A = this chain, B = another copy of it.
Amino acid sequence: MFKVGIIGATGYVGVELLRLLLNHDKVTVTAISSSTFKDEEISSVYKSFFNKTTLVCKDKSDVIDKCDVIFTALPHGLSEEIAAEAISKNKKVIDLGADFRLECEDSYEEWYGKKFTCKDIHKNSIYGLPEFNGSKVKEFNIVANPGCYPTSISLGLMPLLKNNLINTKNIICDSKSGITGAGRGLSLKTHFAEANENFAAYGIGSHRHTPEIEQTLSYMANENVEVTFTPHLLPVNRGILSTIYCQPKDKLTLEEIHEIYKKQYENEEFVHVLPLGQTAEIKHVKYTNNCHISIHQNYRKNKIIIISVIDNMVKGAAGQAIQNMNLLLDLPQNTGLKLIAPSF
């Protein structure tokens, strides 16, 4: 059994990670930390854990010392120093925040308003999107776990970009996320009476996931990719649906494109390309690490429309982090992640 721990275990991502790790056969959650709920039992913070675990939130140093793999689920800017300390002790780190996602420090400064704190350790890190570069993850000590929106969009576009099939300067990503993406912090926007029966966009044209999306897509395309990305807040707990519009370069039929998608993902446990004529829906992937992708075009057949859905808390955060952990530990990718979505 490997020993794992979570720094920032009481945020929404942290607690979802804990829930999934407790059902993972090959690891033991040895320590968790929380600055807000230090010394409290996790089962008193989240009563779902009542009688299911006796873990107590301790200091982050406790996690670093006792665990082989350390998950950091923290606001951006707080993980670099932790990672530096951990890898100095030969631990592995999986960061669910933004600290290691952008390779370019200037870009990080532009979008997050600060420079890298521990610049030298970034070379030890990899942006770990398993279906794109999973085979390399094991070679690194730090894995930057992708953001939720970038995951849905990158998986949705990878086959088109790798095969050079679309105009890389005219991509529209219209994404809609369940409200847990906004976290546990209180705000009027996430106050029930305000969010319920409402729907709105936010961060229009300037959301911080934009450079991360463009970085990944550019690697896939092997050229500079530009996207217009608009996130919206759905009045549901979980799920992201991205509707992606792009302009085909070639006159491929929808059937041909569909074949390319199926081929790309034929050996992937978690990414499922739906048969033509079907439409991906959030409910079919909720509470799982799956991504469903459906492929469409407009009636003039001059736009390709991709629908990509994931659970923002699982494939978009905690589940993908475990998938990355499995890669680090040389376990089958689906260990602890053989989840089927409840139909309701």
- A contact residues vs B (CB 8 Å cutoff): 12, 15-16, 19, 22-23, 46-52, 170, 172, 174, 176, 179-180, 184, 186-188, 190-202, 204-206, 210, 226, 228-230, 232, 234-239, 241, 243, 245, 272, 274, 278-288, 292, 296-300, 303, 305, 307, 313, 338, 340-344
| Residue on B nearest A22 in the bound complex, by CB | B340
| Residue on B nearest A174 in the bound complex, by CB | B174
Cβ contacts A to B, 20 pairs, < 8 Å: A12-B344, A19-B343, A23-B340, A48-B283, A172-B174, A174-B243, A184-B193, A191-B191, A192-B237, A193-B237, A193-B344, A194-B344, A196-B196, A196-B236, A198-B236, A199-B281, A205-B305, A210-B299, A228-B298, A234-B235
Q: Which of A198, A239, A284 counts the most chain B CB atoms within 10 A?
A: A198
Cα–Cα, bound, A320→B229 (Å): 32
Shortest distance between the CB of A212 and any CB in chain B (Å): 13
Query: Oligomeric state, in number of copies?
Result: 4
Task: List 8 tightest A-B contacts by C-beta distance, closest first.
Answer: A48-B341, A205-B298, A200-B281, A186-B186, A198-B283, A174-B174, A193-B344, A228-B298
Find chain B residues with CB under 8 A from A201 CB.
Answer: 241, 243, 279, 307
Shortest distance between the CB of A54 and any CB in chain B (Å): 13
Find chain B residues with CB under 8 A from A204 CB.
Answer: 279, 296, 305, 307
Find chain B residues with CB under 8 A from A51 CB.
Answer: 272
Given contacts A49-B340, A192-B195, contact A235 B236 (CB under 8 A): yes
B236 lies within 8 A of A303 (CB) = no
Find chain B residues with CB under 8 A from A238 CB.
Answer: 197, 344
| Residue on B nearest A301 in the bound complex, by CB | B205
Residue in B202, B235, B288, B292 whose CB lies within 8 Å of A279: B202
Shortest distance between the CB of A129 and any CB in chain B (Å): 20
A280 lies within 8 A of B200 (CB) = yes
Find chain B residues with CB under 8 A from A338 CB.
Answer: 23
Residue in B48, B180, B206, B245 whose CB lies within 8 Å of A299: B206
| Residue on B nearest A47 in the bound complex, by CB | B284
B197 lies within 8 A of A283 (CB) = yes
Cα–Cα, bound, A46→B206 (Å): 25
A174-B245, A287-B342 given. 8 additional CB < 8 A pairs? A19-B340, A49-B340, A50-B274, A174-B174, A186-B186, A197-B239, A230-B243, A234-B235
Cα–Cα, bound, A344→B194 (Å): 6
Find chain B residues with CB under 8 A from A16 CB.
Answer: 342-343
